[in-house]
């Protein structure tokens, strides 16, 4: 527990090599993640598998979705803390708290300025953009090595314990959630199925073709800030898990 709490100390993280860079990209990836979920939701073509399952179970039990999902995240977080506590850090908390609020912020904007009567073409474009940006944000978020959300951590636990690459572990967990939501009559749409089959491979693609370049780029403008000018951010190495 002490190790987990220490890993969540922002000051300790920033003082590490590449700390400020990783923190900045992690926060930006959470904002992008919330935006991606809002675009996905706006398409009206379902929700992501984990959300779909939680909505299904909470409806059957007569429990509020927000409260139920918080409880599920808490239980999964305990499991992850036992099996792979290295996956828990400040990014875990930022993800659990931040994504929902960012999604709600953009959703409120859409209700004011975007048409509520959507053509099929617009819905398909929003779904595709949402799935890709969600995968990209997840890739950036994971590779900052500042923790992952409880559900996302399940794929990494499977990767470590049964040696199944993350892109396929993610497909397994997403398909399991999609099947559970379908059997319970949950909000399944074509976007849910697309996410279940393709999000894992797209995350893997983004790891090697986008995230490594973003994380290894030279952000010279950062050196103008007094707090961070003493650190070398040009030698950050992407974790060796790119498929």
Residue 4 lies in a domain: no
- The model's confidence at residue 16, banded by pLDDT at 50, 70 and 90, is low
Residue 148 lies in a domain: yes
Distance CA 46, CA 65 (A): 16
Distance CA 41, CA 116 (A): 12
Say whether 189 sits in a helix, a strand or coil.
Answer: coil
pLDDT tens, 149-194?
A: 888 888 888 888 888 888 889 899 999 999 999 999 888 889 888 8
Residue 97 lies in a domain: yes
Helix 49-61 and helix 166-183: axis angle, to 10°?
30
As a whole number of Å, the end-to-end CA separation of the chain is 31
Residue 81 lies in a domain: yes
Residue 53 lies in a domain: yes
CA–CA distances in Å: residue 157 to residues 35, 82, 160, 161: 27, 11, 5, 6
Residue 42 lies in a domain: yes
pLDDT tens, 119-128?
A: 899 999 999 9
Residue 119 lies in a domain: yes
Residue 47 lies in a domain: yes
pTM of the model: 0.75
Residue 5 has pLDDT above 80, yes or no: no
Show the domain range for 123: 19-224
Number of domains in the chain: 1
């Amino acid at each position: 527990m002490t190790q987990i709490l220490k890993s969540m100390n922002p000051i300790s993280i920033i003082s590490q090599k590449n700390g400020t860079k990783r923190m900045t990209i992690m926060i930006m990836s959470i904002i992008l993640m919330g935006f991606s979920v809002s675009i996905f939701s706006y398409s009206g073509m379902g929700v992501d598998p984990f959300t779909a399952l939680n909505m299904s179970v909470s409806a059957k039990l007569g429990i509020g979705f927000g409260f139920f999902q918080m409880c599920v995240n808490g239980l999964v977080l305990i499991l992850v803390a036992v099996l792979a506590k290295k996956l828990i850090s400040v990014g875990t908390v930022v993800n659990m708290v931040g994504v929902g609020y960012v999604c709600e912020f953009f959703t409120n904007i859409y209700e004011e300025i975007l048409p509520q009567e959507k053509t099929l073409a617009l819905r398909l474009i929003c779904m595709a953009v949402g799935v890709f940006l969600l995968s990209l944000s997840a890739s950036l978020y994971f590779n900052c090595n500042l923790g992952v959300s409880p559900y996302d951590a399940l794929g990494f636990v499977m990767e470590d314990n049964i040696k199944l690459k993350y892109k396929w572990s993610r497909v397994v967990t997403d398909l399991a959630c999609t099947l559970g939501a379908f059997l319970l009559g949950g909000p399944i749409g074509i976007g849910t199925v697309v996410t279940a089959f393709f999000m894992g491979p797209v995350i893997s693609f983004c790891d090697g073709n986008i995230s490594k370049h973003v994380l290894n780029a030279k952000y010279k403008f950062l050196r103008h800030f007094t707090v961070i000018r003493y650190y070398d951010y040009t030698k950050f190495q992407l974790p060796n898990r790119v498929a």
